[in-house]
């Protein structure tokens, strides 16, 4: 069973509107897109002049409600989101695409089902497979038209995922540099991060020992 994220050639994406979005780190401009074939709504957070031809510091972030909103420590997603926005704010220029692809593409309810399987002993890859999914079902084909909306042709991509780099490159977006985003290794996500490195090829080195925490699973 393939572990690669999918990159279909065509995506029916419509740009809709924008607004100012003040955050603790900078005031971004928030742009909304609708994938008409699925109804999914995707976002772009933009800071500064990203269309001047220079490689842009950016992140392609897949939605993780439990990590991004509910502060779950079972993953590193929320910390990656915050870390990426901080880095963009520090540079004064960059873009973050927020793609509505919960649970590596399996959806929120199925992700919770996967968590139950993980509590019974499965790892993050095994849990997805046991539910009948690929380890990674994400679709990155909307990335190119989203970036094209702002004139972005080259990224300094914040990621630890080589498959994401490959998928973005195949869409015709140059990845000028990979910027590591190693954050929030803890007692609750240690096995999850090690599994992503061992089974999905994520570049998680140098690994740091997880801290000992009261109530650690």
CA atoms of 79 and 196, how far apart (whole Å): 16
CA atoms of 90 and 44, how far apart (whole Å): 18
Residues paired with residue 62 on neighbouring β-strands, in sequence order: 99
Catalytic choice (59, 104, 138, 156)? 138
Catalytic (active site) residue 138: yes
Answer yes or no: are the C-beta atoms of 156 and 58 closer than 8 Å.
Answer: yes
Catalytic (active site) residue 116: no
CA atoms of 109 and 111, how far apart (whole Å): 5
What value does the CA radius of gyration of the chain take, rounded to a whole number of Å?
Answer: 17
Tally of CA atoms within 13 A in the half-sphere of 26 that contains its CB = 22
First to last CA, the chain: 30
Catalytic choice (136, 156, 163, 185)? 136
Name the residues annotated as catalytic: 136, 138
């Amino acid at each position: 069973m393939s572990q690669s994220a999918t990159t279909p050639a065509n995506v029916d994406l419509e740009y809709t509107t924008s607004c100012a979005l003040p955050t603790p780190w900078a005031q971004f401009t928030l742009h909304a897109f609708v994938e008409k074939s699925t109804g999914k709504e995707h976002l772009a957070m933009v800071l500064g002049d990203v269309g001047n031809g220079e490689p842009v510091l950016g992140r392609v972030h897949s939605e993780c409600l439990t990590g991004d909103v509910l502060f779950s420590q079972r993953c590193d997603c929320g910390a990656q989101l915050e870390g990426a926005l901080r880095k963009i704010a520090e540079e004064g220029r960059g873009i973050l695409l927020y793609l509505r692809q919960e649970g590596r593409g399996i959806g929120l309810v199925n992700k919770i089902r996967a968590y139950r399987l993980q509590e019974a002993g499965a790892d993050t890859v095994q849990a997805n497979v046991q539910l009948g999914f690929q380890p990674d079902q994400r679709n990155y084909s909307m990335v190119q038209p989203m970036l094209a909306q702002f004139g972005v042709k080259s990224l300094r991509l914040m990621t630890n995922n080589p498959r994401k780099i490959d998928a973005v490159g195949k869409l015709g977006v140059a990845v000028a540099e990979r910027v590591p985003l190693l954050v929030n290794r803890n007692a609750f996500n240690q096995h999850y991060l090690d599994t992503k490195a061992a089974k999905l090829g994520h570049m998680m080195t140098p690994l740091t020992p997880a801290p000992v925490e009261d109530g650690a699973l």
